[in-house]
Structure 1
Amino acid sequence: MILLVGLGNPGERYKNTRHNVGREIAAAFAAAHDFSEFRFEKKWKSQVAEGNIGKTKAVVVLPDTMMNKSGAAIAPAARFFKIKPKGIFMIHDDADIPLGRAKLSYGKHSAGHKGVESAIRALKTKDFWRFRIGIAGKRDIPAEKLVLKKFTHDETRILKKISKKTVEAIATAATETCERAMNEYHR
């Protein structure tokens, strides 16, 4: 069983912003694999959908907390489903990776990402899988402003390609191995 977490901020105001790329890709994954409709789970402060990828059961969690409080949603869901950290796949934006690129990593520090920091504190470990989606654009924009910017039309086209690739990599990681997903994802 896996717990797929899409980091982002809740609400229309943040829709299509760079900081919400994880949340949007996780929702796209659930839709692509015919998961249940998202429902609000009060005890996890999250939108939740469930389904299967091959023989692997998966739960998609979209925290309805602000980004820097994501751990308050992730840790209770992981405990409820008895999912060890290695079974947690987190998708989030990464301002250090160029737009159109992505990386799959395991056991890395947060690199200053507040949502990841919150998850590490709540889970008491950094040993989980992270699909890091590049959002970097012009370097003259401070990161705290960049993450709240919406994507341009051209950037949205680029994002759709990496979103599709990420959805495929998550399925590979869930049904085969994360190492195989990493090999395919980093090409």
Structure 2
Amino acid sequence: MKCIVGLGNPGKKYEDTRHNVGFMVIDELLNRHNWNLDKKKFNGQYAMEHYQGDKLILLKPQTYMNLSGESIRPLMDFYNIDLEDLLIIYDDLDLPAGKIRLRQKGGHGGHNGVRSSIDHLGTKEFKRIRIGIGRPVTSIPVVDYVLGSFPKEQQGDVGESIKLAADACETWLNTPFVDVMNEYNN
């Protein structure tokens, strides 16, 4: 069984913010396949589905970003999901808006949702898709920036990066991750 987690903050207030691009990728996958987040447990909303003969869980933690690991770890333990079968998607200030980057492991890079995931999983070695949101070009505090919406001129690029990240997720479900990285990191 594989598990794809999109990081974000729950609630209408945060729905279209930069910090919620992980949720947006999960939404893209749900829409493509006509799936629903119909389960609520482990401080999250999730779907358990089948994709090309394999079981798959899509998770949106409902803990708020800084506590994401409190949702991911119990779900993985309950369903006995190996770290090898986990993919976490989140926003990244260090990538330009509209770019994605896949990695097999890494640090948190100052991202509190990833920090919480690392703390609760006990390792930095899990697959991830980082979606670029760019850095603020004004003196706006980072917290206000990530909790703000994308300006109109970035929405097209960001929409494309969300679709590309969803494509990468689908490819990973039946392709070794290193091959997925080679394909989508270009």
Does the alignment reach a TM-score above 0.5? Answer: yes
Query: Paired residue for 1:28?
Result: 28
Alignment map for 1:147-186 (pairs within 5 Å) = 147-186=146-185
The 1:180/1:34 distance shift into structure 2, 3 A limit, reads farther
TM-score, normalised on structure 1? 0.94
What percent of counterpart residues are identical? 35
Displacement of 1:122 in angstroms is: 0.7
Q: d(CA) in 2 for partners of 1:54 and 1:175?
A: 8
CA RMSD of aligned residues (A): 1.3
Query: Paired residue for 1:100?
Result: 98
Unaligned runs of 5+ in 1: none
Deviates more, 1:112-121 or 1:136-145: 136-145
Q: d(CA) in 2 for partners of 1:146 and 1:185?
A: 27
SS in 2 for 1:117: helix
* 1:58-108 superposed Cα distances (whole Å, 9 cap, x missing partner): 100101111001011000011111111121110100001100111001220
Unaligned runs of 5+ in 2: none
2:122 to 121, 124, 127: 124
* Contact 2:136–2:142 (8 Å) recurs in 1: no
* Contact 2:94–2:135 (8 Å) recurs in 1: no
* Contact 1:173–1:179 (8 Å) recurs in 2: no
Displacement of 1:175 in angstroms is: 1.0
* Contact 2:68–2:116 (8 Å) recurs in 1: yes
Q: d(CA) in 1 for partners of 2:177 and 2:56?
A: 15
| Residue identity opposite 1:180 in structure 2 | D
Q: d(CA) in 2 for partners of 1:53 and 1:29?
A: 11
TM-score, normalised on structure 2? 0.94
Q: d(CA) in 1 for partners of 2:27 and 2:127?
A: 18
